[in-house]
Amino acid sequence: MTVMANLQIAPLACQGLGLQLGGRSVLRDIDLAAIQGETLAIVGPNGSGKSSLLKLLAGLRKPGSGRVDLLGEPLAQLPRRRIAQALALVEQQADTADAISVYDAVALGRTPWLSALAPFASQDRAIVEQALADLDALHLRTRLWHSLSGGERQRVHIARALAQRPQVLLLDEPTNHLDIQHQLSLLQQVQALSVTTLVALHDLNQALTCDRVAVLDQGHLVALGKPFDVLTPERLLSTFGVHAHYLTDPFDGARILRFRAP
C-alpha cells in the first residue's frame, strides 16, 4: 500500500500544516496524504481542529504555516476555479433563505465548469441528473429547499459537490443531525463513490467502516492508519478520555466499540 501511494501522486496532501486563530494554535504540523479512491475518516474530540483542517485543505482559509498540494500542484497558487474543478467541500451548516429548487441547488455544482457566455448544456444536465441519482434524490428534484428535511438537505449538498465532478470530496460531519437510518444510508452512499473522500466524523463506529482513520487531538495529528490499528482502547482513552472495549456482534461477526466514562 505504501509503495502504491509513493508511486502515485496523492490526490490531496499537506505538509507541516499549521493554523493560529486569535493567538491560539488550532492546528500544528499536520502531514497527511490521501490515497487515490479511499475514504479517509477524520476523528477527534470537539475543538480538535477537524473543520479547520478541512477548510485549509479546501483552500478556504490560508494556513499559518505549511502547504497543501492538490493533484501534485500547490493549492495556494491555483485559481479558485481550478480548485473547484478538482475538489468539492460539503460544509457542516450551509443554509439559504432563497426558494431554490433541489435541481437548481445541485446545478450550482456546475459553476466551476461554466463561463459567462457558455449556456447550461445538455452534458451539464446529464451530470446533474447523475449526481441526483447517485444520492438517491431524483424524486426530490422539483422540491424547494425549505421543504426538505435535514437528511434530504445533506444529500442535496453532497449531490451538488458530486456535480462538480471532483477528484477529491471533503465532507464535514455529514451525518450530523440525521436519524440513524439516514446516517447509515448516507455513509454507505459516500463510501460507494469512487472519488477520494475525506470525511470528518463524530461516530467512531462509523469511522471503523472507512478505509483509513486520522485522529486529531488538540490540533495534532496523533494517529493515521487502518481503523482497527488506530482506534485502540489506549488511543481512545488518551485522546477522547473514555474507556473503550471491542465487542463482536453475534449477528455478523463485526467488531464494534462500546464506551464507558472513566
Partner 1 sequence: MSRLLPYSVLALAALCAALLAGTAIGESDLAPNVVYQVLANHLWQAGYPVDPIDAGIVWNYRLTRTLVAAACGAGLATCGVILQALLRNPLAEPYLLGLSAGASTGAVLVGLLGLGSVALSMSGGAFIGALAAFTLVLVLARAAGPSNNNAQVILAGIAGSQLFTALTAFLITKSATAEQARGILFWLLGNLSGVRWPSVWLALPVALFGLVVCLWHRRALDAFTFGTDSAASLGIPVRRTQLLLISCAALVTAVMVSIVGAIGFVGLVIPHALRLLLGPGHSRLLPASALGGALFLITADILSRTLIPGQVIPVGVVTALIGAPVFALILVSRRGRP
Smallest gap, in angstroms, from Cβ of residue 128 to partner 1? Answer: 14
- Regarding 125 and contact with partner 1 (CB under 8 A), the answer is no
Which residue, 227, 180, 174, 229, is CA-closest to 202? 174
Out of 15, 36, 101, 191, which residue is the one contacting partner 1 (CB under 8 A)? 101
Out of 2, 24, 95, 249, which residue is the one contacting partner 1 (CB under 8 A)? 95
- Regarding 185 and contact with partner 1 (CB under 8 A), the answer is no
**Number of other CB atoms surrounding residue 150 within 10 Å:** 12
- Evaluate the CA torsion angle 169, 175, 176, 178 in order and state its sign: positive
**Number of other CB atoms surrounding residue 13 within 10 Å:** 20
Out of 60, 138, 193, 242, which residue is the one contacting partner 1 (CB under 8 A)? 60
Quote the radius of gyration of the chain (alpha carbons, Å).
19
- Regarding 142 and contact with partner 1 (CB under 8 A), the answer is no
Site for partner 1 in 145-184 (CB under 8 A): 146, 157, 164
- Regarding 76 and contact with partner 1 (CB under 8 A), the answer is no
- Nearest residue (CB) to partner 1, 107 versus 223: 107
Task: Report the b/e string of 229-254 with b at 16+ CB within 10 A.
Answer: ebbeeebbeebbebebeeeeeeeeee
Residues in the interface with partner 1 (CB under 8 A) total 34
DSSP string, 175-236: TTT--HHHHHHHHHHHHHSSSEEEEE-S-HHHHTTSSEEEEEETTEEEEEE-HHHHS-HHHH
- Regarding 24 and contact with partner 1 (CB under 8 A), the answer is no
- Regarding 84 and contact with partner 1 (CB under 8 A), the answer is yes
- Regarding 102 and contact with partner 1 (CB under 8 A), the answer is no
**What are the φ and ψ backbone dihedral angles of 235, each rounded to 5 degrees?**
-60, -45
Smallest gap, in angstroms, from Cβ of residue 177 to partner 1? Answer: 15
- Regarding 21 and contact with partner 1 (CB under 8 A), the answer is no
Out of 8, 111, 149, 248, which residue is the one contacting partner 1 (CB under 8 A)? 111
- Regarding 104 and contact with partner 1 (CB under 8 A), the answer is yes
- Nearest residue (CB) to partner 1, 118 versus 247: 118
- Regarding 257 and contact with partner 1 (CB under 8 A), the answer is no
Out of 1, 76, 99, 256, which residue is the one contacting partner 1 (CB under 8 A)? 99
* Residue the block writes with cell 475514504: 39
Residue 1 contacts residue 35 (beta carbons within 8 Å): yes
Distance, CA of 142 to CA of 170 (rounded, Å): 26
Which residue, 141, 188, 196, is CA-closest to 166? 196
Binding site for partner 1 (CB under 8 A): 55, 58-60, 79-85, 87-89, 91, 94-101, 104-105, 108-109, 111-112, 114, 116, 146, 157, 164
